[in-house]
Chains A and B, each alone.
Chain A
Amino acid sequence: MHLAYPTVVAALLFSVGVYGVLARRNAILVLMSVELMLNAVNLNLVTFDMRFRDRLHGGQVLTLFTIVIAAAEVGLGLAIVLLVYRNRRMVDVDRLRELAESDDAPDEETGSEPGTEPGAEPVEEAAP
């Protein structure tokens, strides 16, 4: 089998994942795109394991490890997304700009949800 086929498929899948991470606003869709990118990496690992006839099967074992890490990542990521949803009532990554370093702080999320999370407000770190 020609080696170009699986590597090209993996490259295209990775770029689709890059587009999804950059262009989507819903946090769960961003997680799905990250899964697409991880799958592209897995395909490359399996391909080169088969290409080099690895006696220790390093590529395939690393693929299994990547799958496990992806499962752990999506579990933790969804827990964080649910926590964000519980506090903000939305999972829109474009509007979660609390940690952004910008002068023009957007007013809509500080004004729209008053008092939903009083413990998370930085009390001491007022603006200089």
Chain B
Amino acid sequence: MSGQEIVFTLLGVVAVGAGIMVVTTRRLVHAALWLVLSFGALAGGYLVLTAEFVAWVQVLIYVGAVVVLLLFGIMLTRAPIGDSADLDSGNRWAAAAVAVATAALLVTVMVMGFRDERMPLRAGGGSASELGASVFRTWVLPFEVLSVLLLASLVGAIVLSRTDIGPRLPGRRKGRG
């Protein structure tokens, strides 16, 4: 077991453990904060895999933007700050069975498939310059299409969340938003 594998195993344990806390904790805000830990550990895992640029994008977008957006959602839906008793649905045991079955199947397939595969890790494969050249040379058309998609989703989110635009409903009161 090399040093990279030890570090990656520790980070993976942190990521999976924080993920389990996300799906089992009884406090909504704590779930978002555990999500920060899980994403941060995963970013460390990307660093171990020499994907530096992806790691920093993960930190910026997931830890920075997505979790803040989720926290805003938690606050705007007036979620209770303390313990919530009814966060888990009644079919959680069936869900746990499905999840354990999925984990067993996937782990078995991965371990059997890649038992003696090794990957070379050389620095520089995921630097910003290489990835930038790749994005803007080979993948420039998907990049542009993706920017249009992001713009469309932004416009959609604004249209959905504003109340003073859109089709006029018969019973809508003024100034509710």
Q: Which residues of A contact B (CB under 8 A)?
A: 1-9, 11-20, 22-26, 28-29, 31-33, 35-36, 39, 42-43, 46-47, 49-51, 53, 56-58, 60-61, 63-65, 67-76, 78-83, 85-86, 91-94, 115, 117-120
A85 and B15 contacting across the interface, CB-CB below 8 Å: no
Docked CA distance A32–B20 (Å): 12
A35 and B16 contacting across the interface, CB-CB below 8 Å: no
Interfacial chain A residues near B74, Cβ < 8 Å: 28
Nearest Cβ in chain A — how far from B148, in angstroms?
A: 11
Chain B's interface: helix, strand, loop or mixed, by majority? helix
Q: A26-B28, A68-B150, A78-B70 are in contact. List 9 more A-B contacts (CB 8 A).
A: A14-B102, A15-B100, A26-B79, A49-B126, A60-B126, A67-B61, A80-B160, A115-B171, A119-B170
A22 and B99 contacting across the interface, CB-CB below 8 Å: yes
Could you jot down 22 A-B contacts, CB within 8 Å? A1-B119, A11-B106, A12-B103, A15-B99, A16-B22, A19-B96, A22-B95, A24-B89, A28-B73, A28-B74, A32-B31, A46-B126, A57-B134, A60-B54, A61-B131, A61-B142, A67-B62, A71-B65, A74-B69, A74-B70, A78-B72, A79-B157
B: number of interface residues (CB 8 Å): 95
Docked CA distance A19–B49 (Å): 27
Residue among B31, B76, B99, B120 with the most chain A CB within 10 A?
B99
Docked CA distance A6–B44 (Å): 12
The 8 Å CB contact of A9, one of B12, B91, B100, B169, is B12
B77 and A81 contacting across the interface, CB-CB below 8 Å: yes
Docked CA distance A7–B154 (Å): 33
Nearest Cβ in chain B — how far from A105, in angstroms?
A: 18
Interfacial chain A residues near B84, Cβ < 8 Å: 26
Nearest Cβ in chain A — how far from B7, in angstroms?
A: 10
Docked CA distance A81–B62 (Å): 19
- CB-contacts of B52-108 with A (<8 A): 53-54, 57-58, 61-62, 65-66, 69-70, 72-74, 76-79, 84, 86-92, 94-96, 98-100, 102-103, 106-107
